[in-house]
Amino acid sequence: MANHKKIRALVLVLLPLVIYARQQPGFSVSGTIKDKKSGETLSGASVAFLQKAGLGVVTNAYGFYSITLPKGHYTMVISFSGYATDTIELDLQHNMTVSRSLGTGNGQLQEVVVAGKKATNILKTPPGLQRLSIEEIKNVPVLLGEKDILKTIQLLPGVKSAGDGKSGFYVRGGGADQNLILLDEAPVYNASHLLGFFSVFNADAIKDVSIYKGGMPAAYGGRLASVEDIKMKDGNNQKFSGSGGIGLIASRLNLEGPIVKDKGSFTVSGRRTYVDVFTGLSSDTNISGSKLYFYDLNMKANYRLGKNDRVFLSGYFGKDVLSVKHNGGVDWGNSTATMRWNHLFNDKLFSNTSLIYSQYNYNTQFTSNNNNVRVTSSITDYQLKQDFNYFFNPRNKFDVGFNFIYHITQPGQARSDQASKYNDITLEKKYALENAVYASHEWSATGKLKIMYGIRLSVLTILGPGNVYTYDNAGNILTTTWYDRGKTVKTYVNPEPRLAVTYQLNDISSVKVAYDRSVQNIHLLNNSTSNSPTNVYLPTSNIVQPQLADQVSAGYYSNFHNSQYEFSSEVYYKNLQHEIDYKNNANLVGNNNVEADLLFGKGRAYGWENYIKKKSGRLSGWISYTLSRTERQINGINNNNWYPATQDQTHNIAIVGIYKYNHKWTFSAAWVYNTGNAVTWPSGKFPVDGVPVYYYASRNGYRLPAYHRLDLGATLQLKNTPKFQSDLNFSIYNAYGYSNPYSINFQKDPQDPAHTQVVQTTLFKMVPAVTYNFKF
């Protein structure tokens, strides 16, 4: 009943504004904005009219725009970061289709960017949204020269690295599993290679990256902390082209071209490491018989069926293999597939229908003393998604849609050889149907005031077949109930209201405020500090409730010095409900009753984010600083008092500089600093039958030492002709060789068994690399 009241109240708020948004007489101007060289559509391009100050639109995810204006003469201005501004004179006497292709300005890139983006981030960019260009990503120095989207994201304010060798990252107090990472709309559950050293996203295959930290649009849901919306290239529909690189541990190749010029295109990108090639040459049979590699493959094709229809088919397949001869190993990987259909009903109504598949799985093999045991686990999603964009009039745009996701989770299955002394184990599969509908309204109330508001209604239904358990306070099973296939176990309904307001103070500055509620129904169980790929995913159940987050944020945004500089300062507060932590010595792997080892409570996160970016000139880059706090209060931990969450880092600093010395050389540097993560260490020990047993006084009562690192890079342009370009990229990861802690362990001092040694493990000191890149 309470939920129904909330929905009715929101409808009463929306209704007067919808009535106000009556369509005025006029004609529509619509079309698609593309890249001149490749034919790629440009998402987020600005379309404005000089005679209508404060009015304009931004192209949607597929480069489409539409705006309705009274008849008359207009000067239309189209701009996009990194491209030359296009100006068109229009005599609007009827509905018009105006599709344009933007070029990069014949070498005047930086000056053109400034003119074209003067106020985009001030009024048109929603609060909490940041975009990264692929060129920025490729210029940032990283480990072993492998350009990394997720590592670059971690240089932005409010985004925190989990550390070297960790696969996750934290956004505004959220856990690593509370980030929705999308690749062409398909969720990617484990976005890391080689235990977190690299991400699964090959930069050569990616078109653009958008990060939402707050002010979440109603179209997104399913995670609490953030959305990383990553889109693959559509492929060059003008001519065949390619790019690639050869590095110390990996090589990559991207090929793309037209299926039919101006109508359809394809792209194929592959990447593989070859450490195993070198280990295979070793005379040591243990080394030569071991495997250590990863690969990924991106594929995409699209075709325009007619004036109003376009279809896309894209997929990603990646895998890691790590094994030691005679001792077993582990492999893990993601697979995604997306089929989409764009349809234009008329000049104002745009539709996209998507069928989406996503799977993450891992396999672990243990071999010893003639025992061979293989453990597997997986999570699989099947999704139908429908979105509509209605460009009602110059001041009003409506987005509505729905999605259905069928989750199948296999927590674990162990199979052994017949000669093994171990018994086979199969944990019960979990089934759930996650549905959502949403509606949102983008209202340009005046030339200076923009309001985006809406609601998302998420419904999770837990389904059979399977047993459902209840437990007492000690974790013992009280009741067991069997549900047949398709029978409903429990249903959770959660409304998610969203609101974002932007007010432009003057030509160069604005203030933005936002509120959003988010719901999460898929949870990652991990009570170690290693972020292992063998962590377990658990859906919401009769015991584990959906996690909820309510976030408010407010910020000041400004461009200055003729828009060469961009500045923002933002504060946020987030309240978290139904957070998960674990009992001491919890068993999360191979446990059919893992819910009995879980504890639940609440959390809070608050912080202050600052960001200044120089966008043009020979020297560009940015500085970000975040001051924040993240805490949890879990019943049964630390006497039910608030304590620092694992991801609590008080200070985060990132300084990135890119210097174009001349037409041959470009230099770059990135320095990062953050407070060490909160950890649980023993407070003392006592002997039990001669064996030391450690005593833990509090959860997360200690901290790792502060983390800091300087990375350097230099790129030498070797050849630059219209048909072929190549360069050499040199990089040094951790240039001053600081020993950042990966883990700290406690062990008996061999010289004095009564005392304990503290042993720090460091993964990387100084790591140089060189990569040859080419493009044709």
Question: pLDDT tens across 446-459, in order?
Answer: 889 999 999 999 99
* pLDDT number for residue 239: 94
Q: In this structure, what DSSP letter does residue 120 have?
A: I
Does residue 24 carry a pLDDT above 60?
A: no
Q: In terms of domains, do 229 and 335 share one? A: yes
Please identify, among 96, 117, 138, the residue that sits at the C-terminal boundary of a domain: 117
pLDDT at 571 over 60: yes
Confidence of residue 413 (pLDDT cuts 50, 70, 90): confident
122 inside domain: no
Which is higher by pLDDT, 774 or 117? Answer: 774
Give the range among 51-55, 147-151, 331-335, 700-704 with minimum mean pLDDT: 51-55
Same domain flag for 84 and 195: no
Does the residue 508 lie in any domain?
A: yes
Q: Do 532 and 386 lie in a common domain?
A: yes
Same domain, 140 and 110: no
Please tell me which residue, 609 or 107, carries the higher pLDDT value. Answer: 609
Among residues 117, 151, 180, the one where a domain terminates is: 117
- CA 313 to chain CA centroid, nearest Å: 21
Quick one: pLDDT at residue 22? Answer: 47
DSSP structural state of residue 262: T
Q: What pLDDT is attached to residue 466?
A: 93
142 with 101, same domain? no
Q: Is residue 690 part of a domain?
A: yes
For 391, how many CA atoms within 13 A lie in the half-sphere containing its CB?
Answer: 26
In the sheet that holds 179-183, the strands lie side by side as 129-132, 206-212, 226-232, 179-183, 186-187
Candidate from 162-176, 443-457, 635-649, 677-691 with smallest mean pLDDT: 677-691
Average pLDDT over residues 177-201: 92
Residue 674 contacts residue 651 (beta carbons within 8 Å): yes
- pLDDT-derived band at 114 (thresholds 50, 70, 90) equals very low
Question: How far apart, in whole angstroms, are the C-alpha atoms of residue 618 and residue 553?
Answer: 34
For residue 581, being part of any structural domain is answered with: yes
Looking at the fold, whether 169 and 82 belong to one and the same domain comes out as no
Q: Find where tokens 């790590």 sit.
A: 322
What's the 3-state SS for 392-456? EECCEEEEEEEEEEEEEEEEEEEEECCCCCCCCEECCCEEEEEEEEEEEEEEECCCCEEEEEEEE
Neighbouring-strand partners of residue 298: 269, 316
The CATH number assigned to the domain holding 41 equals: 2.60.40.1120
Lowest-pLDDT range of 30-44, 131-145, 480-494: 131-145
| 589 part of a folded domain | yes
* Residue scoring higher pLDDT (198 or 183): 183
Instruction: For residues 580 and 548, give the distance between their C-alpha atoms in angstroms, rounded to a whole number.
Output: 12
Phi-psi region of 54 (alpha: psi -120 to 50; beta: other; left: phi over 0): left
What would the pLDDT profile of 287-343 be if each residue is shown by its tens digit?
Answer: 666 788 999 999 999 999 999 999 999 999 999 998 877 677 889 999 999 999 999
How many whole angstroms separate alpha carbon 253 and alpha carbon 245? 7
Indicate whether 611 and 738 sit together in one domain: yes
Query: Among 225, 227, 168, which Cα is nearest to 192's?
Result: 168
Same domain, 70 and 166: no
Three-state DSSP at 480 gives: strand
pLDDT tens, position by position, 655-681: 999 999 999 999 999 999 999 989 888
- CB atoms inside a 10 Å sphere around CB 755: 8
Predicted confidence band at 350 (pLDDT cuts at 50, 70, 90)? very high
Quote the pLDDT of residue 419. Answer: 66
Nearest to 381 by CA among 350, 403, 349, 414: 403
Split into its structural domains, the chain has a count of 2
In a domain, 123, yes or no: no
| Domain-located, residue 697 | yes
pLDDT bucket at 534, cuts 50 / 70 / 90? confident
Residues of the chain above pLDDT 90, percent:
62
> What percent of the chain stands above pLDDT 70?
91
Please report where in the chains the tokens 């492999």 appear, as a residue. 331
Average pLDDT over residues 535-564: 93
Vertex 632, ends 626 and 637: CA angle to 5°?
145
Q: Which secondary-structure segment (H or E) carries 185?
A: none
Residue 124 is assigned to a structural domain of this protein: no
User: Among 266-280, 346-360, 621-635, whose mean pLDDT is lowest?
Assistant: 266-280
**pTM for the model:** 0.90
Q: What is the pLDDT at residue 108?
A: 37
**CATH number for position 184:** 2.40.170.20
Domain check: are 612 and 687 in the same one? yes
Buried residues in 405-427 as b, exposed as e (16+ CB within 10 A): bebbbbbbbbebeeeeeeeeeeb
Q: What pLDDT score does 125 carry?
A: 84
Long-range contacts of 1-7 (CB under 8 A, 24+ apart): 3/493, 3/494, 3/495, 6/495, 6/497, 7/455, 7/457, 7/495
Same domain membership, residue 416 and residue 289: yes
Q: What is the pLDDT of residue 774?
A: 95
- Per-residue DSSP letter, 202: B
Could you tell me if 32 and 112 lie in one domain? yes
Per-position DSSP letters for 673-729, written without gaps between them? EEPPPEE---SEEEEETTEEEEE--STT-EEPPPEEEEEEEEEEEEEE-SS-EEEEE
The full length of the chain comes to 776
**Of the candidates 752, 660, 648, the residue with the CA atom closest to the CA atom of residue 704:** 648
If asked whether residues 304 and 436 sit together in one domain, one would say yes
How confident is the model over 36-95, as pLDDT tens digits?
989 999 988 989 888 877 678 889 989 999 988 888 999 999 988 878 899 999 999 999
Residue 468 β-bridge partners? 481
**pLDDT in the model for residue 105:** 55
At residue 100, the pLDDT reads 93
Element (H, E) at 143: none
Structural tokens at position 607: 């912080």
What is the residue-averaged pLDDT of the chain? 88
Nearest to 208 by CA among 385, 338, 80: 80
pLDDT in tens, 118-135: 555 677 788 989 988 888
Q: Which of 53, 86, 117 is the last residue of a domain?
A: 117
Domain that holds residue 16: 2-117
222 by DSSP, 3-state: which?
coil
Do residues 546 and 460 touch, judged by C-beta distance below 8 A? yes
Q: How many CB atoms lie within 10 A of CB 87?
A: 11
**Residue 712 confidence (pLDDT):** 95
Amino acid, res. 643: Y
Which amino acid would we find at residue 570?
E
What is the DSSP secondary structure assignment for residue 123, as one 8-state letter? I
The confidence score (pLDDT) of residue 121 equals: 62
